């Protein structure tokens, strides 16, 4: 690029601005603690928290207290957290005394993380996928995800609301709604559709109600809420993170990953949760003897020399006309990638797109997987199953009979179709559909384009990115890219209770690569993020106001009194 495009100029302006903002932060007396600079919690990074904990500026107990106060400030409007961990403060106190004794379990030692309410913990919290069918049910142990967070020293602060059953129940419902958790809303516009299904995880990360959160994805459930809530989401390769005691939809597609405000924060969390698990044999596909250094992968020069393809035919404005404002911003982002040393290869189209849309293979794979996997991978493991739910048929009946499940207002069509299919994922019909599905999304999609055009990675507006990688279990990282213009017309969601499109609606760009290429994708995403810093330019309409300094000063006042 010989000339400097307007967007590059804008980027330079952003960089200058962020430098300014940063230097002002040093003098932001409203969040400074004991005269020492500290950023507001909506901006605080892992490294800010580590520095503060190490230098004794605050304790993990202070941090947990501040985040709980922040959650309670906004909970009644946004309903993003279904349950707080009643032991969070005592766990934090224990981690504080370990630190005082010189034992630090890892970078996340003493740092609070919220997790989606389909990831089980062996403690006082429920794991329900938002359904009364599993209220009070007990698991035999922590899920591998919860165990790994605890081993890394993180404080599991609570459980986040989600689209019920990870959005695998109804065609007639709203993102972020569950019977137990109510309707989660996003913070960028009144009655914002938070997308889903990791809705509460995304809204919580977005407002700085924990350092970061865990979500799960079968097809878009990390990427999409990250997209519309101005966040970084990592959807790992299926098998990089264990699904042990995570309420399943599909063993072939489910994966657990971080939702955070920065790429590096997400990298810290991924480093803590990645790895093999004896309880999930898909993790045997993990090729690494030791987990790659995802934090070190955050390299400003990572885009240099990379070949990046654009599967243009997936940017389908006929299927999705409301996405039109995203396209010019995405195209300008390609210039930023070029300026960072990448080669952009246009029209690396996914040749399987139409056949995939026309066929029913993807639905059949999920239906058959759910019929098999819900009982096999989860219900059969429960040590207490108060409603005797042993199959999808039991669940269907329970949901029809239990008034708070809001049936038939919100239907159970997805389960009814799965039950009508008449088979699970060991039948020959399943395998022919699965083979077709992965052929269309792989050789005629992600892996085919990577090979045919000798690419390192692919990029798409996040709006269009989830489906192909979902079907073959390959990884995606999304980063904030922009927001809808001020003159955008407000559009309600299909259910009619939330605003799906509005002025200032955030959107992201997705980096996609081969299986187990998270280290590469994190580098590319970081190099883009650091050149643009878009997140800081988009502000929520509603924020929590409690800061660490308030908690620390309050404690000082109480100890003096």
Q: Which positions touch ligand NAG (CB under 6 A)?
A: 24-25, 28, 30-31, 40, 71-73, 75-76, 79, 81-82, 84, 97-98, 101, 161, 172, 181-182, 281-282, 284, 299, 301-302, 304, 312-313, 347, 349-351, 364, 393-394, 397, 409, 411, 429, 432-433, 436, 443-445, 448-449, 452, 485, 487, 489
Copy the structure tokens of residue 64. 């947990």
- Closer to ligand NAG by CB, 140 or 494: give it: 494
Q: What span, in angstroms and rounded, lies between the C-alpha atoms of 498 and 503? A: 14
The rounded distance, in Å, linking the Cα atoms of 470 and 287 is: 20
**Residue 442 corresponds to which tokens in the numbers above?**
């792989």
Of 51 and 497, nearer to ligand NAG (C-beta) is 497
Which residues are CB-neighbours of 62 under 8 A, at least 6 positions away? Answer: 548, 551, 552, 555
Residue whose CB is less far from ligand NAG, 312 or 556: 312
Closest CA to 365 of 310, 276, 433: 433
The closest of 232, 230, 192 to 215, measured between CA atoms, is 232
Nearest to ligand NAG of 40, 560 (CB atom):
40
Catalytic residue among 60, 116, 306, 465: 116
Q: Is 197 a catalytic residue?
A: yes
Is 45 or 349 the residue whose CB approaches ligand NAG more closely?
A: 349
**Catalytic one among 131, 221, 224, 517?**
221
Residue 117 and residue 22: Cα distance in Å, rounded?
35
Render 136-178 in DSSP notation, one character per residue: T-B-SS--HHHHHHHHTT-EEEEEE--SHHHH-S-SS--TTEE
Closest distance of CB 40 from ligand NAG, Å: 3
State the minimum distance, in angstroms, from the CB of residue 258 to ligand NAG. 21
CA 242 to chain centroid: 15
In whole angstroms, the minimum distance from the beta carbon of 233 to ligand NAG comes to 22
Q: How far is the CB of 115 from ligand NAG (least distance, A)?
A: 14
- Which lies closer to ligand NAG via its Cβ, residue 169 or residue 560? 169
- Whole-number Å distance between alpha carbons of 362 and 352: 13
Identify which of residues 335 and 543 has a Cβ nearer to ligand NAG in the complex: 543
SS3 410: coil
Tell the smallest beta-carbon distance from residue 126 to ligand NAG (Å): 12
DSSP state of 309: E
Nearer to ligand NAG, 167 or 561 (CB): 167
DSSP code at position 429: H
Q: Which two tokens stand for residue 380?
A: 């059969």
- Cα–Cα separations (whole angstroms), residue 164 to 117, 167, 278, 418: 9, 5, 28, 17
Q: Is 116 annotated as catalytic?
A: yes
Residue ranges in 284-427 assigned as alpha helix (H): 326-339, 353-358, 361-373, 392-401, 413-421
Output the CA torsion 30→34→36→39 (10° steps). Answer: -40
Pair of tokens at residue 537: 């330019």
- To ligand NAG, the closest distance from the beta carbon of 341 in angstroms equals 8
Report the distance separating Cα 454 and Cα 462, nearest Å.
Answer: 22
- In the complex, the smallest distance separating the C-beta of residue 284 from ligand NAG, rounded to whole angstroms, is 5
Total number of residues shown for the chain: 561
Stretch (H or E) spanning 233: strand 232-235
**Minimum CB–partner distance for residue 107 and ligand NAG (Å):** 17
Point out the catalytic residue in the list 131, 178, 195, 197.
197
Beta carbons of 411 and 170 less than 8 angstroms apart = yes
Which residues form the catalytic set? 116, 197, 221
């Amino acid at each position: 690029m010989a000339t400097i495009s307007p967007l590059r100029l804008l980027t330079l302006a952003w960089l200058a601005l962020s430098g300014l903002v940063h230097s002002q932060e040093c003098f932001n007396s409203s969040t400074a603690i004991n005269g020492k600079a500290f950023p507001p919690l909506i901006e605080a990074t892992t490294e800010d928290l580590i520095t503060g904990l190490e230098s004794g500026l605050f304790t993990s107990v202070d941090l947990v207290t501040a985040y709980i106060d922040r959650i309670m400030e906004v909970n009644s409007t946004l309903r993003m957290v279904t349950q707080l961990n009643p032991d969070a403060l005592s766990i934090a106190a224990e981690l504080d005394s370990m630190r005082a004794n010189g034992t630090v379990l890892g970078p996340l030692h003493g740092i609070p993380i919220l997790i989606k309410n389909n990831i089980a913990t062996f403690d006082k919290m429920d794991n329900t996928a938002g359904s009364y069918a599993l209220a009070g049910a007990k698991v035999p142990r922590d899920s591998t995800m919860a165990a790994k967070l605890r081993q890394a020293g993180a404080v599991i602060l609570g459980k986040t609301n989600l689209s019920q059953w990870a959005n695998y129940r109804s065609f007639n419902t709203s993102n972020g709604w569950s019977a137990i958790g109510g309707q989660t809303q996003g913070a960028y516009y009144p009655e914002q559709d938070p997308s889903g299904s990791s809705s509460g995880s995304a809204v919580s990360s977005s407002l700085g109600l924990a350092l970061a959160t865990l979500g799960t994805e079968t097809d878009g459930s990390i990427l999409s809420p990250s997209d519309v809530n101005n966040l970084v989401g990592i959807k790992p390769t299926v098998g990089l993170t264990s699904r042990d005691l995570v309420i399943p939809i599909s063993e072939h597609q489910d994966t657990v990953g971080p939702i955070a405000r920065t790429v590096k924060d997400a990298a810290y969390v991924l480093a803590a949760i990645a790895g093999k698990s004896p309880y999930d044999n898909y993790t045997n596909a993990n090729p690494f003897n030791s987990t790659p250094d995802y934090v070190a992968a955050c390299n400003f020069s990572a885009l240099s020399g990379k070949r990046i393809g654009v599967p243009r035919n997936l940017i389908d404005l006929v299927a999705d006309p409301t996405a039109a404002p995203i396209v010019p911003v995405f195209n300008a982002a390609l210039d930023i990638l070029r300026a960072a040393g990448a080669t952009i290869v246009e029209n690396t189209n996914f040749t399987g797109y139409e056949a995939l849309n026309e066929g029913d293979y993807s639905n059949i794979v999920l239906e058959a997987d759910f019929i098999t996997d819900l009982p096999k991978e989860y219900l059969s493991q429960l040590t207490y199953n108060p409603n005797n739910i042993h199959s999808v048929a039991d669940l269907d009946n329970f949901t029809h009979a239990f008034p708070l499940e809001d049936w038939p207002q919100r239907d159970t069509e997805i389960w009814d179709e799965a039950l009508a299919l008449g088979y699970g994922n060991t039948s020959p019909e399943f395998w022919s559909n699965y083979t077709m599905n992965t052929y269309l999304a792989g050789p005629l999609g992600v892996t085919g384009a990577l090979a045919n055009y000798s690419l390192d990675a692919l990029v798409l507006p996040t709006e269009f990115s989830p489906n192909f990688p979902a079907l073959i279990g390959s990884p995606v990282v999304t980063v904030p890219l922009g927001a809808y213009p001020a003159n955008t017309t407000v559009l309600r969601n299909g259910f009619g209770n939330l605003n799906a499109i509005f002025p200032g609606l955030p959107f992201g760009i997705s980096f996609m690569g081969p299986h187990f290429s998270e280290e590469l994708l994190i580098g590319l995403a970081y190099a883009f993020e650091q050149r643009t810093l878009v997140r800081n330019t988009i502000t929520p309409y509603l924020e929590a106001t409690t800061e660490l300094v308030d908690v620390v000063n309050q404690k000082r006042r109480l100890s003096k009194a």
